[in-house]
């Protein structure tokens, strides 16, 4: 098969692993910088150009769209879809997963358990949001934040009001979420491919930190998920329309809670901690879907 990987950097671990494994499995894998693509959008001549070259129909597309390039990246994915190319994750699924608020609304509507969450735009409404969440301390998140950035733990109502005011000066959208004390500093990542969890890991925050993100010094450990956790991760991915996803969960006194569903999950941490060839699982899934 001919496979395109939409990625800005061919040297990134996840991208290079997919290329190496795909080629080793007998496929022709090519990395395309989606920000260098330009498109002809007409009903009779749908085309994507890359460096002056017209890209024709390809057997499969693996989108690895960066958070800061979601709008243009999903437009390129949509163009491939319109050209009848199989995209592992659709443009709509990527867009929905990147919008934290919308993705939580979609999951909540489907009955997925998550931390109690509120959303407000004005500082005068912070007390109402806190009352709806019914907990102090609480987590305050910028909707546009990634890798643990833009997340603050507010331990008092006064602190929450101050954080809200500071965020609003940035004209930022803010989500308020309950703080799960029994799982503070720890979360789980389930890597979903198709209808299976192919790998999982536990992330633990460094001492004195409540965010477990690896980019903030968190450590990764192999972990065995419960059947309930696996089923919840798979269901959440399907609800958002993702075939490949990294689903973040937290264990609580009332059972597992979904934190976030990622459409371009990294491979390095999960492959290292779980000792699983996740890249091969992804390519094998594409073979199953296309051959």
Predicted confidence at residue 141, as pLDDT, reads: 77
**Tokens describing residue 284:** 């094998």
Name the residue with tokens 């269901």. Answer: 235
Q: Is residue 137 reached through a cis peptide bond, with omega within 30 degrees of 0 on the bond before it?
A: yes
Compute the distance between CA of residue 174 and CA of residue 125 in angstroms, rounded to an integer. Answer: 12
End-to-end CA distance of the chain: 9
Predicted confidence at residue 120, as pLDDT, reads: 67
**Tokens describing residue 94:** 């990527």
Compute the distance between CA of residue 182 and CA of residue 17 in angstroms, rounded to an integer. Answer: 36
**Tokens describing residue 198:** 């192919």
Element holding 255 (H helix, E strand) = strand 255-262
Element holding 76 (H helix, E strand) = helix 70-82
Strand 53-55 to 37-40 pairing = unpaired
**What number of helices (H) and strands (E) belong to the chain?**
9, 16
Strand 86-87 to 60-63 pairing = parallel
What are the structural domain ranges in the chain?
2-89, 97-112+182-276, 117-179
Fold annotation for 2-89:
Rossmann fold (3.40.50)
Compute the distance between CA of residue 231 and CA of residue 229 in angstroms, rounded to an integer. Answer: 6
Predicted confidence at residue 177, as pLDDT, reads: 83
Predicted confidence at residue 155, as pLDDT, reads: 80
Compute the distance between CA of residue 84 and CA of residue 89 in angstroms, rounded to an integer. Answer: 14
Fold annotation for 97-112+182-276:
D-amino Acid Aminotransferase; Chain A, domain 1 (3.30.470)
Compute the distance between CA of residue 66 and CA of residue 176 in angstroms, rounded to an integer. Answer: 24
Interhelix angle 70-82/91-98, rounded to 10 degrees, is 160
Compute the distance between CA of residue 47 and CA of residue 58 in angstroms, rounded to an integer. Answer: 12
Predicted confidence at residue 59, as pLDDT, reads: 96
Predicted confidence at residue 31, as pLDDT, reads: 98
Its CATH architecture, for the domain 117-179, is 2-Layer Sandwich (3.30)
Predicted confidence at residue 184, as pLDDT, reads: 75
Tens-binned pLDDT, residue by residue, of the chain (291 aa): 999 999 999 999 999 999 999 999 999 999 999 999 999 888 678 899 998 899 988 999 999 999 889 999 999 999 999 999 999 999 999 999 998 889 999 999 999 999 988 876 655 566 677 777 766 788 887 766 555 456 888 887 777 777 777 766 666 667 788 888 877 778 999 999 999 999 999 998 776 555 545 555 578 899 999 999 999 999 999 999 999 999 999 999 999 999 999 999 999 999 999 999 999 999 999 999 987
Phi first, then psi: what are they for 154, rounded to 5°? Answer: -100, 120
Compute the distance between CA of residue 142 and CA of residue 177 in angstroms, rounded to an integer. Answer: 11
The three-state secondary structure class of 153 is: strand
By C-alpha distance, which of 58, 112, 67, 108 is closest to 88? 58
Predicted confidence at residue 216, as pLDDT, reads: 52
Is 54:47 a contact under the CB 8 Å cutoff? yes
Is 31:61 a contact under the CB 8 Å cutoff? no
């Amino acid at each position: 098969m001919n496979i395109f990987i939409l990625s800005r950097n061919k040297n990134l671990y996840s991208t290079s692993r997919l290329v190496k494994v795909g080629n080793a499995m007998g496929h022709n894998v090519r990395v395309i910088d989606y920000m260098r693509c330009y498109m002809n959008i007409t009903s009779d001549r749908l085309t994507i150009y890359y460096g002056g070259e017209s890209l024709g129909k390809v057997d499969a597309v693996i989108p690895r769209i960066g958070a800061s390039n979601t709008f243009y990246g999903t437009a390129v994915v949509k163009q491939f879809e319109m050209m009848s190319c199989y995209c592992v994750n659709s443009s709509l699924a990527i867009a929905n997963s990147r919008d934290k608020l919308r993705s939580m609304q979609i999951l909540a509507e489907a009955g997925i358990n998550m931390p109690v969450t509120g959303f407000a735009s004005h500082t005068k409404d912070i007390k109402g949001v806190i009352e709806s969440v019914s907990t102090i301390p609480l987590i305050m998140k910028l909707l546009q934040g990634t890798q643990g950035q833009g997340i603050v733990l507010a331990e008092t109502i006064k602190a929450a009001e101050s954080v809200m005011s500071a965020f609003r000066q940035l004209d930022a959208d803010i989500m308020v979420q309950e703080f799960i004390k029994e799982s503070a500093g720890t979360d789980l990542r389930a890597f979903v491919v198709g209808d299976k969890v192919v790998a999982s890991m536990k992330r633990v925050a460094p001492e004195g930190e409540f965010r477990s993100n690896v980019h903030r010094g968190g450590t990764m450990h192999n972990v065995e998920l419960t059947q309930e956790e696996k089923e919840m991760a798979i269901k959440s991915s399907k609800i958002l329309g993702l075939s490949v996803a990294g689903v973040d969960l937290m264990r609580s006194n009332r059972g597992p809670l979904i934190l976030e569903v990622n459409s371009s999950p990294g491979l390095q941490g999960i492959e290292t901690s779980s000792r699983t060839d996740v890249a091969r699982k992804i390519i094998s899934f594409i073979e199953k879907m296309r051959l």
